[in-house]
């Protein structure tokens, strides 16, 4: 089983990657660093929480694991 700490670290790293990608996409789409950055921050916050919940649910499911 995966620890909560590992799930959080994975979520943080994944969301930092997503933040940089989304900020770039937002900037290219709008031409504004402020709007692109805001879009990226909102997306990252929502994605972080969703990913953590998703990871914790799957951590409790034994299907597909070999002991």
DSSP label at residue 57: H
pTM of this structure: 0.67
Contact 24, 39 (CB under 8 A): no
Burial category of 18 from C-beta neighbours within 10 Å (exposed 0-12, middle 13-18, buried 19 and up): middle
pLDDT band at 8 (very low <50, low <70, confident <90, very high): confident
Domain boundaries, the chain: 4-59
Task: Give the pLDDT mean for 9-30.
Answer: 90
Chain segment 50-66, per-residue pLDDT in tens = 988 998 898 889 888 87
Chain segment 25-47, per-residue pLDDT in tens = 999 999 999 999 999 999 889 98
């Amino acid at each position: 089983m995966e620890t909560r700490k590992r799930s959080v670290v994975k979520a943080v790293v994944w969301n930092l990657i997503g933040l940089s990608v989304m900020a770039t996409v937002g900037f290219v789409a709008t031409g504004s660093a402020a709007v692109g950055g805001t879009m990226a921050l909102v997306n990252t916050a929502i994605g972080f929480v969703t990913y953590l919940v998703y990871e914790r649910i799957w951590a409790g499911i034994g299907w597909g694991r070999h002991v």
